[in-house]
Amino acid sequence: METDNTTLNDLSIFNHEDEFSVFNKLNLTRTTRGREKLRMIFNHSLTDIESIRNVQKTLQLVLQNLDQWPFYISNGSVMMIYKFYESSIDEPPSRPSPITAYYYKLFHGPDFSLIKYSVGHAFDFIKGMKQIVSVFLNDEAPRNLKKALQKASVLIERHQLQIVFQKEKAEHLSYTEMLSFAYFIRYHYKQYFLELIDIYSQLDAWYGMAMAVNEYKLSFPVFVSSDEPALKAKKLYHILLKDPVAYDVQLNQSNNFIFLTGANMAGKSTFIKAVGSAVFLAHIGMGVPAESMELTLFDGLLSNINVVDNIVKGESYFYNEVQRIKNTILKVNDSRKWLILIDELFKGTNVQDAMKCSTVVIEGLIKIKRSLFILSTHLYEISENLKTYPNIDFKYFETEVTDDKLIFNYQLKNGVSNDRLGYLILKKENVIDLLEKL
């Protein structure tokens, strides 16, 4: 699924403050390199249903066999193996005897200690990879997982490594066995070991995704093959919210445009981002924050939410809004299936101008039948002219005012909201009182 950095930032998939990103919340990998692989997964959405289902099945297999996962492979294990290859040490004997092993320990004490410690981590790592291969490499393994494990199986079948599977722990190795093993992996196995770590990092990324599915009770979406775009979700919510409100959402070719209204802070932006982030997660094979979700494969996902001006280029906010809409139209007018998310169109101009511009854009976008749109706006007045279009679904978030207090229930309802509560918000935050005292 095609997307861009603007969309990824709009949906908080990634964030300059990484703590508040979807990626950071769902990153439950165990190693630094696993995290890097996970970031690559998030940066490269999948483009076919089979690949998505393969990832889903991989995560399900990990969860089904979680008690078989080698938790003794840690980030420290991987870092120590790299340190072993990067450290400068006096070369140990290639074919050590008890005597040469003893003398190496005696005259090269610091190097011997490093080797002993490194061999312990390498021993555990190889044993752990063997365990993963034994558990997951079978006829049920999906193609992507099977390919990785078949390669790992070949790499760990070297006869010099068989001592790992003959001994229960690295501590059971004699000094001669330890130095012989260390010599082999340092001088004859380095490239293969690095490949093995790379495979494990990919496995760790899938493990982290599986753990996130389990931790946050996510559900795997069902992809349906269709030439027409469709999205249906029950009790969908935003993954980053602590106490989210769930929504039911349905879009299809005959009802492909949601016209969303409501007051400031009523929940419009959160709803749009919830839908967008869930569709994004579905396209990397991840579980989604919903009770259930069914959708077609989308060719692309674009948003127009957090537009900014550019002082250096002398570009105004409104100009950049126009450019974003222009680029969106050029993208989606290609008969492919797109999901387009637009929040508060044309905020950078006056109300009358914004109403005219918004109406023109909406009336143009609804001609594109093979894409789905969600557009929020304060300009509820333009809804009257749009009610003649049968493919527009009018939704709003209700706001109640009781004794000058704003009550947001964040419930998505059918219809159009004409709430204008800016003055009440100013009053509630004591801005009016502050101004009167000036």
Give the tens place of pLDDT for each residue, 353-403.
889 999 999 999 999 989 999 999 988 899 999 999 999 999 999 887 766
Let me know whether 139 and 166 are in one domain: yes
Let me know whether 183 and 233 are in one domain: no
Q: Is residue 4 part of a domain?
A: no
- List, as one string, the DSSP characters of 382-424: GHHHHTT-TTEEEEEEEEEEETTEEEEEEEEEES------HHH
Q: Is residue 23 part of a domain?
A: no
What amino acid occupies position 258?
Answer: I
Let me know whether 36 and 156 are in one domain: yes
Tell me: pLDDT of 311 over 60: no
Q: Is residue 26 part of a domain?
A: no
Tell me: pLDDT of 17 over 80: no
Let me know whether 186 and 247 are in one domain: no
Let me know whether 246 and 304 are in one domain: yes
Let me know whether 261 and 389 are in one domain: yes
Let me know whether 44 and 96 are in one domain: yes
Q: Is residue 396 part of a domain?
A: yes
Can you say whether the dihedral through the CA atoms of 26, 29, 31, 37 is positive or negative? Answer: negative
pLDDT at position 312: 38
Q: What pairs with residue 428 in β-bridges?
A: none
Measuring CA to CA, how many Å separate 149 from each of 78, 130, 195? 18, 9, 12
Let me know whether 82 and 129 are in one domain: yes
**Domain termination site, one of 180, 215, 250:** 215
Choose the weakest-confidence range: 209-223, 229-243, 314-328: 314-328
Q: Is residue 42 part of a domain?
A: yes
As given in the structure block, the two tokens for residue 271 are 């709803």
- What is the rounded average pLDDT for all residues in the chain? 91
Contact 59, 207 (CB under 8 A): no
Contact 135, 65 (CB under 8 A): yes
Work out whether strand 292-296 and strand 222-224 pair parallel, antiparallel, or are unpaired: parallel
**Domain termination site, one of 156, 191, 215:** 215
Let me know whether 199 and 244 are in one domain: no
Q: Over the stretch 260-303, which tens digit does the pLDDT of each residue have?
A: 998 777 789 999 999 999 999 999 999 999 999 999 999 999 99
Q: Is residue 20 part of a domain?
A: no
CA–CA gap between residue 271 and residue 255 (Å, rounded): 18
In terms of residue numbers, what domain contains 115?
Answer: 31-215
Contacts (Cβ under 8 Å, ≥6 apart) of 411: 245, 397, 398
**Torsion angle (degrees, nearest 10) of CA 199, 204, 209, 215:** 160
Let me know whether 105 and 36 are in one domain: yes
Let me know whether 343 and 388 are in one domain: yes
Q: How many domains does the chain have?
A: 2
As given in the structure block, the two tokens for residue 404 are 């000058």
Q: Is residue 414 part of a domain?
A: yes
311-325 per-residue burial string, b: 16 or more CB within 10 A, e: under 16: eeeeeeebebbbebb
pTM of the model: 0.92
CATH code (residue 258): 3.40.50.300
25 burial via Cβ count (<10 Å: 0-12, 13-18, 19+) = middle
Q: Is residue 257 part of a domain?
A: yes
Contact 133, 153 (CB under 8 A): yes
Let me know whether 285 and 333 are in one domain: yes
Closest to 377 in 3D by CA, of 277, 300, 247, 272: 272
Scan for tokens 């603007």, then name that residue: 6
**Domain termination site, one of 215, 230, 249:** 215
